[in-house]
Copies of this chain bind each other. A is one copy, B any other.
């Protein structure tokens, strides 16, 4: 009796569940400490202490009906103002509360943006490899996800291929930097070139093409690399932000969407984001955590913990012969699979108690993803298994 669309999703998700169950079986046989699960993006670094402090303060000082009550579907005005000012300071912008809508994480944010933009059969472009949910989100509104490849030596998007794929039905382009699954950070030059392509095509076609930057990993960046803020480079921009990784709060579903005031049809857009939050059933971003993050705008998780993980794992893999772009952000490595069949390689890895995700899951076969948001000690103990696997 379930819908045709969901039948397909359920059968796909059964495969993932089977993998997960197999992992649990391995743990039962070999002990949890001897199974090396690099498959999940669940942050292992603790949220900053300021989160707990903020919760206590708010519950002690603010009215319970304010803290836990309904507010505008866009979120509390004072929270949005505080975030806007914080962004302005960092990126030299002039945002106000009217440029922000608080969302149930970046996932909620992307969905209200796509609900706002897409008529059935409209196209959204993204670059492979990419986070698989983009396809589902676009599909929620009967849009079509169009995939443009990246150069697999650098994982920078192929902008010529992008230009070729843009047509009158193209409503948006989604980018994700720092990137899941590659860890690559898009440079300022790349963002400028991308903006140039989009501006040129907008003019040629007489349409609006929105650039959507999915930024759950913005704060997880290493080696002093800068993550450009796209509102400074392209007028028709959305940023979908999440505190899932920057504050290690993925379960709390808290984030926001930013749209610049000079975007085409700005007034309709912000009003539509507000309404979409309501009619899609989000209603509003969770209220207590809206107020919490407003008190923790300069807090961050300890990114050095992830950096140490990246360094030991990346260095070891390269030493033993894996080919891999050195990631400058997020908490993923995306090495080449030593055999062309990445699914077979992932199955092989399991024999050494290594749980990894084939690149095919990100529409980039011949690679595999390692999430290194697990303990340093476990990564260290896993290195031996990678040696054996490589042999």
Contact = CB atoms under 8 A, between A and B. Distances in A.
Looking at chain A's contact residues, the main secondary structure is helix
B111 A253 contact: no
User: Across chains A and B, which 4 residue pairs bring their CB atoms closest together, nearest first?
Assistant: A251-B287, A111-B281, A107-B281, A136-B279
Nearest to A122: B3
Nearest to A105: B283
Contact of A6 (B52, B65, B275, B286): B275
A27 interface: no
Contact of A55 (B3, B55, B115, B250): B55
Contacts of A119: 3-5
Interface centre among A7, A59, A71, A253 (most CB of B within 10 A): A253
A18 to B, nearest CB: 12
Interface stretch (A8-16, A174-182, A303-311): A8-16
A21 to B, nearest CB: 12
A1 B104 contact: no
Contacts of A282: 104, 107-108, 253, 281-282
Contact of A2 (B116, B252, B279): B116
Interface stretch (A30-38, A266-274, A328-336, A353-361): A266-274
A43 interface: yes
A346 interface: no
Contacts of A65: 43-44, 46-47, 248
A111 B3 CA distance: 13
Contacts of A171: 1
Given A52-B59, A253-B283, 15 more contacts: A3-B117, A3-B122, A43-B65, A46-B65, A67-B251, A68-B249, A70-B250, A104-B283, A105-B281, A107-B282, A108-B281, A140-B281, A250-B283, A251-B287, A252-B288
**In the assembly, how many copies of this chain are there?**
2
B2 A268 contact: yes
A100 interface: no
A110 interface: yes
Contacts of A107: 281-283
Nearest to A207: B1
Nearest to A251: B287
Contacts of A238: none
A352 B46 CA distance: 55
A288 B69 contact: no
A42 interface: yes
A88 B117 CA distance: 44
A208 interface: yes
Given A47-B68, A279-B137, A3 B253 contact: no
A161 interface: no
Nearest to A267: B10
